[in-house]
Amino acid sequence: MDARDAATLTTALTEVTGRDVTTAPADTETGTTEVNLNIAVADGSARPATVRLSAAGAGTGETWDLGVLEGADQIISGVTLDLPRGDWTFTAAGDGGAGEIAVNLTEIQQEISIPFAASNATFEFIGADAFTTDGTIAFQLRSREPLQQNATYSVMLFPDGATTFDENITFTYRFGSDPETTEHAFYPWEFDLPVGAYEVVIMGDSYDLGENLGRFPVQLVATIEDSAPQANAAQTEELTAPPSFALSQIVEPLSPGVSGAFLLEGPAESGDQVMFIGLDGQDTQLLAVPQSGLVAVPSQISEGAFRVQLVRQDGSDIHLGLVDILPASAQDMGNHSTGGEPSETMLSAQEHAAETGPQSLSFVAWKTCEEDAACRVADRRVGLEWMMPSGWASEEPFYYTTASGAQADHPTMQMARATGGAFSIVLNPRQWDAQLGPCEEIQQGLLCRETSDVLKDQTDYELIRNSLNGDFPKPEGWLPIGRSWTVEDRNLGVRVGLIKFDEPIERAETVSASIHLDNPDQFGLDESGIVQTQLGLIWDQNLIVNAIDGEIPVGDGTLFLLLARPGGWDGTSDVWVGNIANPANGRAVLVNLY
């Protein structure tokens, strides 16, 4: 019988034993003792998500099922009950681990903590043993033993023979709640890895490579035939070089639904597919390769940067390059399905270059952007803030008065390119002829623009429109960590402390951080107040930091911090995951930052 608290457990024991355990002693000589039964999680094990408790009486031979504890509150608080005094063996089992303790219950109220340790996790590596430096190290991990639901396992790529944790090249996570078999991938070309020997290493809550849960050798080669055994000259002659592929872009700009955007050069076969993998958290999209080799941009794709891979029928995966997809609104300027020739209305590069120099403005310039990049402009008087592209000017925003004498609901403003080609935009015009160009509703009213098929006009308009709607572009080197973060114990759901990062400059190798731990004793360290330190940064190719690590000197010891964006990060949410560990005593906490 399951019992979730002391009251239901008492009822269950009464029914099972036929005696009232709340008042009646097991016998007149021994009586009963009130006991709090809980779980003591061993170092290196995660707190179990669910565990079943049982007790065996050494003298009577009775075995009692004491029910199931579920969730953090029950696991932490345990259960309180009355048990007959004497010798008992208490057992906790479930969620990938177990433990037991022998206790002599006396008349004194007792707290009994059953030691709980996770079973030794072991993994099977399923995949090839050789991969190309421009391809993907793709493999599967199969857990041979049941894993704890709350446990996290780091799947890491190391140089062959690595002896220290900080030699790792990159990593992914494998969670205990995942299916038995999970898929993983590393991309050597992202790190410019040379040909050579490497290892995939599985780690638990430890920074000691000697405590790994599996080390699996992999080889990086220039071409797959480099990994084949060279037994003799005849065998060498029989080896044939793998087919080579290249992706040529033949349409500008690239946007969702553009057909004939690329030409795949190489011996494509029926069933081959081109995969678009978003670098900023966008969905992955697949398209079949037609016989012509002309590859489209998926219509359901979102704007952003994408890695393009060729996925072949034989299971091989070939990196083709990186592409940028523009917003869907630019599609009509680049959807050339008849060979990639520009439309008649689209200016050539030479024509557009000729439209440089000062332009005649129909208004008195109030603000101009003379920077190489877009300028952020604000007029607090009318409550407007927006981005003005380089070379643009605007008049001072104002509220016009209607014929009835009332003030307009939204401000009016003209904007135009002052240099580099005539093009104008009006916010809330008094009058607008639809033949001049389209209008659309935004947060600040109605935004209208001249009709134009020039890509630069389109992108400048979208910058202004998006910023008026509150969507400002992130500056180059943007990093959303320059603030205070709450550090939370991922398993217990309680605060560990606070951490404050300074905003780093672009591609900085380190960042200044201020850290305060609520309870340094949980790491075996003395109280220390606020600690200042420098942490290392790992930037991706989009100039976004995706990993932070380094040492934190706390009191009489040193902690090691490792943070990364969580798997499936969408590129917008401010959240990090990782762990804080004391290598000296092995104490570690899995943490979330938010």
Instruction: Check residue 226 and give its pLDDT.
Output: 57
Domains in the chain (CATH in brackets) are 6-118 (2.60.40.10), 123-224 (2.60.40.2840), 246-333 (2.60.40), 353-468 (no CATH), 484-593 (2.40.128)
Q: Tokens for 194, please give them.
A: 């040379």
**Identity of the residue numbered 461:** Y
- DSSP-assigned letter for residue 419: B
DSSP 8-state symbol, 342 = P
Question: What Rg, from alpha-carbon coordinates, does the chain have?
Answer: 32
| 143 CB burial (10 A radius; 0-12, 13-18, 19+) | buried
- Name the token pair of 173: 């996570």
**Per-residue CA distances from 471 to 55, 388, 476, 499 (Å):** 61, 13, 15, 28
Instruction: For tokens 């941009």, name the residue.
Output: 297
Residue 238: predicted pLDDT = 41
Rounded Cα–Cα distance for residues 454 and 462 (Å): 13
- For 398, the 3-state DSSP assignment is strand
Token representation of residue 27: 């016998």
Q: What is the pLDDT along the chain (594 residues), one digit of tens a residue?
A: 455 555 565 566 556 555 454 443 344 346 888 888 888 877 767 677 788 888 888 766 778 888 888 876 777 778 888 888 888 888 888 777 788 888 888 877 678 888 887 777 788 898 888 898 888 898 888 888 788 777 778 899 999 999 888 888 988 877 877 788 888 888 888 788 899 999 999 987 777 888 888 899 999 998 766 555 543 443 434 444 557 788 888 777 788 888 888 888 888 888 888 888 876 656 678 888 888 888 888 888 877 778 788 887 766 677 787 788 877 553 333 333 333 333 333 444 444 444 456 777 888 889 999 887 788 888 878 888 898 998 899 999 988 776 566 778 889 999 999 887 788 999 998 878 778 889 999 988 999 999 887 778 888 898 899 889 887 765 443 445 666 778 888 878 788 888 888 877 767 888 888 888 888 888 888 766 788 899 988 876 556 777 888 998 887 788 898 888 776 666 656 677 888 988 888 888 888 877
**Cα separations in angstroms, 564 against 40, 204, 408, 515, 579:** 29, 16, 49, 17, 9
Alpha carbon 44 to chain centroid distance? 24
Q: What is the pLDDT of residue 352?
A: 44
Structure tokens at 210: 């000697």
Per DSSP (E only), the strands in 389-509 are 392-394, 413-417, 424-427, 439-442, 445-449, 484-489, 495-501
Note the pLDDT of residue 158: 94
- What is the DSSP-derived secondary structure letter of residue 401? B
Query: Tokens at residue 213, please?
Result: 């849960």
Burial of 127 (0-12, 13-18, 19+ CB in 10 A): middle
313: DSSP letter: T
Q: What is the pLDDT at residue 24?
A: 36
Q: Which residues pair with 79 in a beta bridge?
A: 37
CA 478 to mean position of chain CA atoms:
16
**Dist. CA 79–CA 54, nearest whole Å:** 12
Asked whether the beta carbons of 575 and 488 are under 8 A apart, the reply is no
Contact between residue 131 and residue 221 where contact means Cβ atoms under 8 Å apart:
yes
User: What are the tokens at 61?
Assistant: 């031979």
What Å distances lie between residue 373 and 370, 392, 458, 576, CA to CA? 8, 11, 16, 30
* Contact yes or no for 528/555 (Cβ under 8 A): yes
According to the model, what pLDDT value does residue 573 have? 63
CA–CA separation, 510 and 533 (whole Å): 10
Single pTM value for the model: 0.36
Residues 265 and 248: beta-carbon distance below 8 Å? yes
Contact 253/330 with Cβ under 8 angstroms? yes
Q: How many residues make up the chain in this entry?
A: 594
